[in-house]
Amino acid sequence: MAKAKTVFFCNECGQESPKWLGQCPGCKEWNTFVEEKITPIKVKQHNIGLERNEPKKLSDIHMLDDKRITTGINELDRVLGGGIVIGSLVLVGGDPGIGKSTLLLQMCKSLADNNKKVLYISGEESLKQIKIRAERLNVNGNNLLLLCETNLTNIEEIVKKDIPDVMIIDSIQTMFKEDISSAPGSVSQVREVTNILMQLAKGLNISTFIVGHVTKDGSIAGPRVLEHMVDTVLYFEGDRHASYRILRGVKNRYGSTNEIGVFEMRDKGLVEVSNPSELMLTGRPTGVSGSVVSCSLEGTRPMLVEVQALISQTNFGMPRRTATGTDYNRVVLLMAVLEKRLGMQLASCDAYVNIAGGIKINEPALDLGIIMSIASSFKNQPINSRTLVFGEVGLTGEVRAVNMAEQRVIEASKLGFDTCIIPKANMKNLKIPKEVKVFGVENVNEALGLCR
């Protein structure tokens, strides 16, 4: 019999170490290493339905007629790249209570209504608990099968027998394989269970969704290899106390990784938001300094957001800098540009920058909006509420071009904005709507001059 080996794994990020460590060198968390005994076992292959591994010509490989399955939820289809790819493995992560199970159960209803056989496997809820949630969401149908099981061996037998079109595992941290001695949710269990589910999905052409828990910093719990094994990684973001949620794709082998889907949480479940710009600007103040509307591009969708800044004299020797919803280092860099190029004395001021609505944006096109909001608050001069600004700002104060400027201007026109301040380099071949005045600027000084 093979001799068991003892190793230590980090519960937060999955870092492996031959000895116990107080602080994880990977995620820098304290007291997260746990001991696991690993017994070498003979790996059993699960090549279900796969042909013998021999080289094939690309021209001899035939595609299925229906490569994607429509979920019936347009925002989810957008993030997935047009629908569910047959045989794909999708990992869905998010904070507790954010709505992961709700979204997947609503997806099950749409798929079942389209005569797709769906198997929902839960390791955290009983059948009665799922039924209560299904009644609240008005989910029913004979094509939706429910199973409460955590033993992967039993799940494997049922899947081979029923062969559903779509399978959902809620969640991966509750599943376990009997051959592995460690507890469910451990690094060894998560890695092996995901490997078997991947082989089942590819071999039987079953589209599989896996729900994953997240750590304190919002990343998927477990080993990093988990995200490498799956085809698509989706993060469900948003404040639990707010009504809207954002589904963001961070990895997608079959589509763009920049797309987002916006939902609103209501008593009957998640509702799609077709116009997120209007939602983000709801309740925006007018005639107040430090408030500017900018445009960010998420995939192919332009989205208008409000950038807020508050500049006040500091009461301490070291001024405070705070950024919410955007990169902190980028805000500090842009404040240095204002000090050097425009002579604004910000060294003695506290600065607070916020992207209203709780959304997180790191696109460089937001630079000019941050600059304008900081300058507006510092001088206590409001900017016209019907003015939109966007553009990337360099260290010399120049305003650089951004992509898809025309789509951003059109989006502003739809929401009633009559003035747009954009990079001058984007003015070439730009089709401007009649009701919008567009000004091209080369540097930050020109942009501020238009708002005086």
CATH number for the domain that contains residue 219: 3.40.50.300
Higher local confidence (pLDDT), 30 or 224: 30
Residue 61 lies in a domain: no
Q: What amino acid occupies position 174? A: T
Q: In terms of domains, do 400 and 290 share one?
A: yes
Q: Write out pLDDT tens, residues 343-390.
A: 999 989 999 999 987 788 889 999 999 999 999 999 999 999 999 999
In a domain? residue 115: yes
User: Residue 46: inside a domain, yes or no?
Assistant: no
Say yes or no: 217 and 102 in one domain: yes
Confidence of residue 50 (pLDDT cuts 50, 70, 90): very low
d(CA 350, CA 352) in angstroms, rounded, equals 7
Are residues 188 and 116 located together in one domain of the fold? yes
Q: Are 26 and 89 in a shared domain?
A: no
386 or 141, higher pLDDT: 386
Annotated binding site: 94-101
Cα of 342 vs its chain's centroid, Å: 37
Answer yes or no: do 12 and 78 share one domain: no
Residues 223 and 333 in one domain: no
What pTM was estimated for this model as a whole? Answer: 0.79
Region of poorest pLDDT, from 50-54, 164-168, 197-201, 224-228: 50-54
From the list 219, 107, 104, 117, the residue with the least C-alpha distance to 158 is 117
Is 51 inside a domain boundary? no
Q: If we measure between CA atoms, which residue out of 391, 385, 401, 357 comes closest to residue 451?
A: 385
Q: Which domain covers residue 328, as residue numbers?
A: 283-450
Instruction: Select from 366, 389, 376 the least CA-distant residue to 452.
Output: 376
Whether 366 is in a domain gets the answer yes
Q: Are 227 and 214 in contact (CB under 8 A)?
A: no
Same domain for 260 and 295, yes or no, is: no
- Does residue 60 form part of some domain? no
Kindly state whether residues 267 and 301 are assigned to the same domain: no
Q: How confident is the model at residue 9 (pLDDT cuts 50, 70, 90)?
A: confident
Residue 428: burial class (beta carbons within 10 Å; 0-12, 13-18, 19+): exposed
Domain count, the chain: 3
Lowest mean pLDDT across 99-113, 253-267, 315-329, 436-450: 253-267
Distance CA 443, CA 434 (A): 25
Exposed e or buried b for every residue in 153-172, given b needs 16+ CB within 10 A? eebbebbeeebbbbbbbbbb
- Whether residues 78 and 227 share a domain: the answer is yes
Rounded distance between C-alpha atoms, residue 340 and residue 174, angstroms: 55
**What is the C-alpha R_g of the chain?**
26
Lowest mean pLDDT among 31-35, 77-81, 182-186, 261-265: 182-186
| Three-class DSSP category at 255 | coil
Query: So what's the pLDDT on residue 117?
Result: 93
Which parts of 230-379 fold into alpha helices (H)? 276-280, 328-342, 367-379
Cα first-last separation, the chain: 81
CA distances from 114 to 121, 147, 272 (A): 20, 21, 19
> Average pLDDT, whole number, for the chain?
87
Assigned domain for 410 exists: yes
CB neighbours of 62 closer than 8 A, spacing ≥ 6? none
What tokens were used for 22? 């107080």
Pick from 388, 377, 395: nearest CA to 447 = 388
Domain boundary among 206, 240, 274: 274
Q: How many CB atoms within 10 Å of residue 395? A: 11
> 432 and 353, same structural domain?
yes
91, amino acid identity? L
Of 246, 274, 302, which marks where a domain is finished?
274
The enclosing H or E element of 418 equals none
Quote the Cα angle for 244-218-269, to 5°: 30
Contact 199, 46 (CB under 8 A): yes
220 by Cβ neighbours in 10 Å (0-12 / 13-18 / 19+) ranks as buried
Do 410 and 429 lie in a common domain? yes
Place of tokens 């104060």: 397
pLDDT reported for residue 34:
82
**Does residue 288 have a pLDDT over 80?**
yes
Tokens of 3: 């001799």
- Angle 128-130-134 from CA coordinates, rounded to 5°: 115
Categorize the per-residue pLDDT at 128 as very low, low, confident or very high, splitting at 50, 70 and 90: very high
Query: CA 422 → CA 52, 76, 392, 404, distances in Å?
Result: 57, 31, 9, 12
Q: Which residues of 398-418 are buried (b: 16+ CB within 10 A; e: fewer)?
A: bbbbbebbbebbebbbeeebe
- Domain shared by 336 and 399, yes or no: yes
Q: Which residues are annotated as a binding site for ATP?
A: 94-101
Determine, yes or no, domain membership for 56. Answer: no
